[in-house]
Amino acid sequence: MEQYVIKGGNPLVGEVEIGGAKNAALAILAAAIMTDETVTIDNLPDVRDINALLQAMGDIGAKIDRIDAHTVKINGAFVKDVPVDYESMKKIRASYYLLGSLLGKYKRAEVTLPGGCNIGSRPMDLHIKGFRALGANVEIRNGAVAAEAEKLVGSHIYLDKVSVGATINIMMAASLAEGKTTIENAAKEPHVVDVANFLNSMGANIRGAGTDVIRIAGVEKLHKTEYSIIPDQIEAGTFMFAAAATKGDVTVKNVIPKHLEATTAKLLEVGCEVEEFDDAVRVVASKPLRHTQVTTLPYPGFPTDMQPQMSVVLGIAQGTSTVTESIFENRFKYVDELTRMGADIKVESNIAIINGVEGYTGARVSAPDLRAGAALVIAGLSAEGITVVDDIHYIQRGYEAFEQKLASLGAQIELATSEKEIQKFQFKVG
């Protein structure tokens, strides 16, 4: 079992390079098998979720050629086993993107129900509604979603709730349907736009991605392409909040500042200085942090994936803040761990009431999920003393070289694999 061992109290200072967006990459990888020609994808993050999906795609017959850690060539001409029955698929939420891609290409698909972090229910009802509207018969059997159609026909689909996964899945299937499809109340997240751009580069006809109405004219087939994935806005935001929590000065490079507007706005509210460049953002936290109110919302609102990191910052801000979680009902599981580090947080229903404290103190904590794990690392970086974060496999699902990037900014953080290594670190840092 691996842990992060952290000696807190050092301001993070310097520059950090952000990798490709995990959430975009997972959907784009799934979409890559919708053509029989070879697709090249770069700026791929080298994280566990990506590697699990690539392995699963290889198991169903896709030819996977990993050029390097961040580049892959995929050929879907040899995909033969449309039922995707693979143990790793249960661990990653994005397994369901293979439904849209396989249904679009082969008019049938069977994929294990999604797993991933336990941050709340991830119902498939909107995905199923969309596939049925396109003419597929869909049922859930033996823990999997099975969809089949003689042919897919374009339709008008209204999503009762904004759903990134359903928007992308329907968009993929509709790309190879007959006729025109309209998705209303569509998700507007940057990775929805990235998947649409990728599909268009393969010959799809998708318009309106990034707005709440997406129009798709089905095409007969897709072709090869070379594509580079957008930067990861959540990884970028995590380092921005780490700068705030440690009273640091960090320039986050290889980003699209427009995608970070909600995060930037909250950092300005709590008293940080934020400077934007063409493809970088600098965060300076030289003044005491102030309280504020946050509500998570679909893009362009404040992202739910940034909520735990924001709460860590507000936990050491002056005054009382509130954080309202409107997306996932189990997103506050990290609060008990943060309380062990001295935080004063009470959760009532979907609202966290945070009374700022002077600072955190080191403790042994456990990462309950991906983003909460990253948030606990941030708390450890700002804390007095030594913090040990267990269950870091969650963090490794979505952050590449996390400890190395933090160390390059001056953090005292190491990967430990035993109690002996933890003690050795404690002795070394005094």
Q: Which residues are catalytic?
A: 117
Cβ atoms within 10 Å, residue 319: 12
- List, in sequence order, the alpha helices (H) in 202-304: 233-245, 261-269
Closest CA to 23 of 413, 398, 412: 398
* 3-state SS, residue 291: coil
CB crowding 147-179: b at 16 or more within 10 Å, else e: bbbeebbbbebebeebbbbbbbbbbbbbbbbee
Strands 13-17 and 249-253: parallel
CA angle at 282 for the pair 351 and 229, rounded to the nearest 5°: 80
DSSP assignment letter at 33: G
Alpha carbons 23 and 196: distance in angstroms, whole number: 13
Strands 364-366 and 144-148: unpaired
Phi/psi zone of residue 356: left (φ > 0), alpha (ψ -120 to 50 degrees), beta? beta
